A = this chain, B = another copy of it.
Amino acid sequence: MSDNTVFKLLGRRLRLAVIGGGPGSFIGAMHRQAARLDDRYELVAAALSSDPERSRITGQGIGVAQDRCYPSGQDLIDAEAQRPDGAEVVAIMTPNDSHYQFAMQALERGLDVICDKPMTNTLPEAEALHARVQATGLVFCLTHNYTGYPMVRQAKAMVMGGQLGEIRLVQVEYVQGGRAKSGPGRKAWKEDPARGGPSLVLGDIGTHAHNLLRFITGLEVAQVAAEVGSIVPDRITHDYAGAMLRMSNGARGSFWVTQAAAGVENGLRIRVSGSLGSLEWHQEHPQVLQFKPLDAPAQVRTPNGPGTLPLSARASRIVAGHPEGFHEAFANLYTDAADAIAARRSGQTADPLSLHFPNATDGLQGIRFVAAAVASSHQQGAWTSL
């Protein structure tokens, strides 16, 4: 990540606008830090609040000029699209139910989009948005940020390179404790199905788990048999989902996500087993990738350590032994997207290694998975095709 491709291609940073992510938002700060880390973006506009005064104050608090602080995403998009120096990229980090609207508006105006997951709350919206992205050719980056970790990319590259042989078994779990107590959690809007989506746990973290599995293995979930529900008393939205998986190549798998496991922090864990060995990765220790070959000693792979493949090397800024974390993984998506956007806008071909960021197809597949899992659960766990 050392060379700034955007400077090279455009002679300047990309102009970025943010919709959502105001004061107190963890994810809002994360997006902006991620955008800054590799210096490919300049933040020029923001819509942080529907209250004009508050939008202006909070926008200035993150360094946006007063006249480019907008009271709504639509205002921002309309105004910036008309400025000669207007934003070129819009990053959307609003509650889930408005992703679709803002993303469509931005695409209509020719703006590239970076969007929080889940892409949409409903499958029709996901399909429409996906189609629009395909039609426009604009860049659409979905922040399935866990795919940005160097060792996740190493895992993908090892699978692509055949080091695991034929993939046979997959396991993914994403276990958190943030909703272990009754009552609304950190973000009350999430508990409202109209805003948080039809299955909170699946939309919030299930799509991450599903996407991680697809990213590393290059396989699709073909069929799912699932149970989705609420285990904490008095909760309406889903807080756990278990599933069995049949993958597109015949591999079998296990899937388990919950936000109700008291005391657990952010336990996203994956194991992929092929005919030649197994890989294991755990988000809470992201710089470790365990590789257990069939008949040789187990290995501990680390970022930029021996055996690092180019897709992983691109995703790291350090020499071995210097931990990177969530910010750097998130920044990798921003940087990949920036390189793709700059290439598109300058008529150049992007570095193929930069094109592995999650896109609208990944987003659509995620929403399909949520829909299929919910449908399966309604049918008493019947195997359901995606």
Instruction: State the A residues within 8 Å of B (CB).
Output: 2-4, 7-8, 13, 23-24, 26, 29-30, 32-33, 36-39, 60-63, 165, 168-169, 171, 173, 175-178, 180-181, 186, 225-227, 229, 231-232, 240, 242-245, 250-254, 256, 258, 260-267, 271, 273-278, 283-287, 290-302, 305-307, 317-328, 380-383
A321 to chain B: which residues have CB within 8 Å? 176, 264-267, 283-284
* Least CB distance, A326 to chain B, in whole angstroms: 4
> Contacts A2-B24, A168-B231, A300-B298: A254 and B252 contacting too (C-beta < 8 A)?
no
> Contacts A39-B32, A277-B263: A297 and B299 contacting too (C-beta < 8 A)?
yes
* Least CB distance, A300 to chain B, in whole angstroms: 4
Among B39, B245, B250, B290, point to the contact of A36 (Cβ < 8 A): B39
A232 to chain B: which residues have CB within 8 Å? 168
Give the distance in Å from the alpha carbon of A285 to the alpha carbon of B181 in the complex: 29
**Could you tell me if A278 and B292 are in contact, using CB atoms closer than 8 angstroms?**
no
A175 to chain B: which residues have CB within 8 Å? 171, 271
A277 to chain B: which residues have CB within 8 Å? 262-263
> Contacts A261-B273, A299-B300, A326-B323: A37 and B29 contacting too (C-beta < 8 A)?
no
**Could you tell me if A305 and B294 are in contact, using CB atoms closer than 8 angstroms?**
no
Among B229, B240, B323, point to the contact of A284 (Cβ < 8 A): B323
Among B176, B229, B297, B317, point to the contact of A33 (Cβ < 8 A): B317
**Could you tell me if A262 and B278 are in contact, using CB atoms closer than 8 angstroms?**
yes
A380 to chain B: which residues have CB within 8 Å? 225, 382-383
